[in-house]
Amino acid sequence: MKTRLTLQEEKRILQAHINGADGRTYELLNLLFCAYPQPVSLEEINRQLRITGKYTLHSILRNARIFIDVETINTDGKPTHLLIGVQCIKEARQRYVINRCF
């Protein structure tokens, strides 16, 4: 049984997960949230957040993954895009199906 949540429901779930973040971490998560369900390129993230340091994005991303899963999409073996929240959406669908069965 494949259950589908509306985009609004998915965004509400994502928003609940990213509300605890602050600072640069929140800025990154909010950028990914606004683009959801489309992935955002690393170049766009660096431009939007004005990231210039070599390891700054890596550090912000590591901190963001504390709050919610962020999937890295690879092209030709190199990370090129980021996508937010796939796992928490899957968990919400499973809870919905289980609750409907009982």
Instruction: Give the pLDDT confidence of 51-90 residue by residue, as tens digits.
Output: 998 899 999 999 999 999 999 998 888 888 999 988 888 8
- For residue 1, being part of any structural domain is answered with no
Based on the structure, what is the number of domains in the chain? 1
- For residue 50, being part of any structural domain is answered with yes
- For residue 81, being part of any structural domain is answered with yes
CATH of the domain at 89: 1.10.10
pLDDT tens string 14-29: 999 899 999 999 999 9
pLDDT at 98: 80
Full 3-state SS string of the chain: CCCCCCHHHHHHHHHHHHCCCCHHHHHHHHHHHHHCCCCEEHHHHHHHCCCCCCCHHHHHHHHHCCCCCEEEEEECCEEEEEEECHHHHHHHHHHHHHHHHC
- For residue 65, being part of any structural domain is answered with yes
- For residue 2, being part of any structural domain is answered with no
Band of residue 40 on the pLDDT scale cut at 50, 70, 90: very high
Band of residue 45 on the pLDDT scale cut at 50, 70, 90: very high
**Domain that includes residue 84, residue range:** 7-101
Assess whether pLDDT exceeds 80 at residue 46. yes
